[in-house]
Amino acid sequence: MAYRIAIIGRPNVGKSTLFNRLVGRKLALVDDMPGLTRDRKEGKVTLSGREAIIIDTAGLEEGESQSISERMRAQSEAALYESDLALFIVDARTGITPADQMFAEIARRSGKPLILVANKIEGRTSAEGLYEAYALGLGDPIALSAEHGRGVSDLLDRVEEVLADVDPLEADDGESDDEERAIRVAIVGRPNAGKSTLVNALLGEDRMITGPEAGLTRDSVAVDFAWNNRGIRLYDTAGLRKKAKVTGRAEQLSVGDALRSIRFAEVVILMVDADRPFEKQDLAIGGLVADEGRALVIAVNKWDLVEDKQARMKELRAHCENILPQVKGVPVVTTSALSGSGFDKLMTALFEIYELWNKRVSTAKLNDFLIDAVDRHQPPASHGRRIKLRFMTQPNARPPTFAIFCSQPDDLPRSYTRYLENELRKCFNWPGVPLRINMRKGKNPYQP
C-alpha cells in the first residue's frame, strides 16, 4: 500500500508548483492565475524505499452553496480526509490571511498529521510572512521555494519523519493489483458533453467536479479503477472547442493538456451529445485521434433523452461511416452518464477495440492476402510500367502497421492504398482501428 499525501491551502500559494516539484514532472497546470486547479490530481514518488501518492488539490476558498468554489472546496476536503499526511501551504510573501487561519482550523480538525510549509521565500519580503506562519499553531513552518527547489530536501526529511509513525497498512492507493497492464483511456469531447459525469459514474463516487457550467475540467486528471478485474487508468480531459474559440490562458493550457492525454492514451472515448451528435468539432477530434493512431470508441451520451432510438441509431452509424472513413467500423455505443445506462456495452467495446489495436497477423497470411488482393484489383501502370507489389509484413502493432515492398512506391495512388486498407479490414476483421500502410521500394527481403 502507498502513503497518500495531500497538498492543501488557499488559491495561488504554489500547490501545483510544489506538486510538480515533488513528482519530478509537470503533471499539473501552473500559471499565475488563481484557481487554475479544480480537480484532484495524483502523482507517485518514492520515499525511503516506499511508494507515496502526492495529491494536488484545488484552492480552499469559501463559496456559496452549489457554486464552483464550494464544489472545489469539497473535493479538496475529501482529499484531506483520505490522506495520511497533509502539507498545508501558505504564501510567505503575502503573509497569513484570514482564509489561511480558517482553513488551518479545518485541517487541524481533520485529525490528520500536518506539515506547515511557507512557500515563495524568494526575496526579503518573505521573512515576515515566515514568522507570521507560527501563529497558525501548526508547528514550525518549512521555508520553501517550490519554483526554485529551495528547501525541498528539508520538507522531504520532515515528511519521512512524520510517515515513520503512520501505519502503511492503513493507507490505500486505490489502484488495481496489476497496474502495469492497466489500459490508458482518455475521455475527450466538446465542453459539457458529460465526460466528468461519466468518470464519476464509472468510479461510483464524485471524484470530478461536475455541473451545468461548460469548461469545469481544466487539468487532465488520471484515475485508476478496475472493471471485471481489468485495470484501467482513466484520463478525464478538458472540453475541446474550435481553435478560434479558445480564449484565455487557462483554456489554452487545458486544451494543450487534453491533446497530450490523447497522445499518451491507448484507447480514446469520444463523447458526443445525442442532441447534437457529430458536429464539426466532433469530426475534428475523431480525426485527431485517428491521426495519432489511437483506438477509438464513440460514446453517444444523454441517450435517455432520445425518443426514436432505433431510427436515430441507424442514422448515427451511417453518418459516422461517412465522416470518419479512416476508422471505418468504429464502435458507436449509446450511454447515459447521468443514469448509468450503457456502461457494460461501452466497456465491452473498449476492451474489444483495445485487442484489435494490439492485433498481429503472420507474414505468411499477409502475403496470401496480398496476392489475392492484387489478383482481384491490379495496381495501375505508371509511365507504361505495371507497379508490382512484391512482399508484405507487419512490423508493428498499436496501431497495426504494415510495410509493402513495391517497385514504384511513389507512383502508387492513394486510392489503391485505401483499397488495400479496406480489404485488410474485411479479411482480418479489423473494424474501427486506424491502420498504417507504408510503401517501400525494394525486393522481397527474404529472397537472396
Which residue intervals of the chain bear CATH 3.40.50.300?
3-170, 179-357
Does 174 have pLDDT greater than 60?
no
Give the per-residue pLDDT at 31: 44
How many CB atoms within 10 Å of residue 18?
25
pLDDT in tens, 37-87: 556 778 888 876 778 888 888 776 665 555 555 666 677 777 788 888 889
| Average pLDDT rounded to a whole number, residues 234-254 | 61
| Average pLDDT rounded to a whole number, residues 141-150 | 89
Give the DSSP letter of residue 378: P
Strand partners, 225: 232
| Average pLDDT rounded to a whole number, residues 150-173 | 75
Q: Name the strands in the sheet holding 436-441, side by side, starting at the edge strand that comes first in the sequence.
A: 389-396, 401-406, 436-441
Q: Over pLDDT 90: what percentage of the chain?
A: 27
Give the per-residue pLDDT at 39: 60
| Average pLDDT rounded to a whole number, residues 240-267 | 65
**Hey, what CATH class is 3-170 in?**
alpha beta
Give the per-residue pLDDT at 62: 61
Burial of residue 417 (number of CB atoms within 10 Å: 0-12, 13-18, 19+): middle
pLDDT in tens, 87-138: 999 999 888 898 888 888 888 888 888 999 999 888 667 788 888 888 888 8
Does 32 have pLDDT greater than 60?
no
Pick the more confident residue, 424 or 217: 424
Q: What is the CATH number of domain 179-357?
A: 3.40.50.300
How many CB atoms within 10 Å of residue 128?
12
CA distance linking residue 116 with residue 98, whole number of Å: 16
Give the per-residue pLDDT at 183: 92
- Least confidently predicted of 85-89, 136-140, 186-190, 208-212: 208-212
pLDDT in tens, 304-330: 888 888 888 888 888 888 888 888 889
pLDDT in tens, 272-297: 988 888 888 888 888 889 999 999 99
Q: What is the CATH number of domain 363-441?
A: 3.30.300.20
Does 214 have pLDDT greater than 50?
no
CA distance linking residue 108 with residue 192, whole number of Å: 36
Give the per-residue pLDDT at 209: 54
Which single residue is written with the C-alpha cell 481544466? 218
What confidence category does residue 21 fall into, taking pLDDT thresholds of 50, 70 and 90? Answer: confident
CA distance linking residue 242 with residue 226, whole number of Å: 34
pLDDT in tens, 339-353: 888 999 999 999 999
Angle between helices 280-291 and 249-264 (to 10 degrees): 50
Does 374 have pLDDT greater than 90?
yes
Amino acid at 402: F
What confidence category does residue 215 fall into, taking pLDDT thresholds of 50, 70 and 90? Answer: very low
Which residue intervals of the chain bear CATH 3.30.300.20?
363-441
Give the per-residue pLDDT at 106: 85
Highest mean pLDDT among 155-164, 207-216, 386-395: 386-395
Does 30 have pLDDT greater than 50?
no
| Average pLDDT rounded to a whole number, residues 193-208 | 80
